Structure 1
Amino acid sequence: MKRLAVLLMLLLPIAAFAVEPDEMLQDPVLEERARVISKELRCVVCQNQDIDSSNAGVARDMRILVRERLVAGDTNKEVINYIHARYGDYVLMRPPFNAATAALWLAPFVLALASLLVGWLVLSRGRNRKIAPGLSEAEEAEIVNFIDENKAGEKP
């Protein structure tokens, strides 16, 4: 029981959001919109972490910028477009499919297809492999003679 409590205490900071109290908006509706938008935006410093859960300084600046745009009256889409225009495709958790991001979108399919092809080749070669023939009578006799000669040469 004690170990479980220690484990839960260690995992508790992981579940906490990085949004600090001084960043939060007074209006709960705007704050909820800010949270939704923040989950759609990637921290440009962290790898694959949204700005809502990132502790990086840039993520904090981006969260504040999102809230400023919401207070100014922007829609969720306008806020995302504004951040996207400033930081590029990388900032979006789901970047658009275009020439610059084609490799990002197609790489999983290409790698899966290549893995299937390699697996198929390995399995098909294994099935087509012939079993090596056994020793001929002449080879067996030669081995027996060799063993007998070595036994005769040994001193008891």
Structure 2
Amino acid sequence: MKILLALFLALQMALACHADEAAPLAEDPVVEQRLIVIAEELRCLVCQNESLAGSRADLAMDLRREVRNLIKDGKTDAEIKDFLVSRYGDFILYRPPVKPTTWLLWFGPLVLLLGALWLLISTIRRNQQQKEPPLLNPQQRAKAQALLQETDSKK
């Protein structure tokens, strides 16, 4: 029993040795609040589906550190975003500006939706036009009448 207890305690100590240190508290809460606001509008370049504020990737931590330094240097939010866009392109912004290089991003879904609606409407119209019964020539009509009379007489 004592051996199991010793083994359990040794395992607990091993887990504590591998734990990461907690992130230090903010030196300036105003800077940290502004950092969070800016970082929420930026995309993590590693995770791509997370904001820079929510990502735990090493690059995201480096970018947050860079943004923190820019805030401390007195840069405005627009200047910070312009700096990051100049280094990483419009991809870093969650809401990229509407310009010729981003038209596909902004208007592509609308074009696809309109194309799908046009395809649906044209398919429905084509199917409705084809539902009209084909006309029979007199010879085919006579043959059909004979078949109908033959089935009626068998009943």
1:47 alignment counterpart? 48
Confirm whether residue 21 of structure 1 aligns to residue 59 of structure 2: no
**Cα RMSD over matched residues?**
2.5
CA distance in 1, matches of 2:81, 2:94: 11
CA distance in 1, matches of 2:70, 2:88: 15
- Whose Rg is larger? 2
CA distance in 1, matches of 2:127, 2:30: 62
Seq. identity, %: 37
Secondary structure at the residue paired with 2:32? Answer: helix
TM score, norm. by length of structure 2: 0.69
CA distance in 2, matches of 1:57, 1:96: 27
Confirm whether residue 124 of structure 1 aligns to residue 132 of structure 2: no
TM score, norm. by length of structure 1: 0.68
2:106 alignment counterpart? 105
1:11 alignment counterpart? none
Alpha-carbon shift at residue 132 of structure 1 (Å): 4.2
- Which runs of 4 or more aligned residues in structure 1 lie more than 6 Å from their structure 2 counterparts after TM superposition? none
Aligned residue pairs total: 124
Letter paired with 1:86: R
5+ residue gaps, structure 1, are 1-19, 149-156
5+ residue gaps, structure 2, are 1-21, 135-140
CA shift in 2, pair 1:138/1:90, >3 Å: same
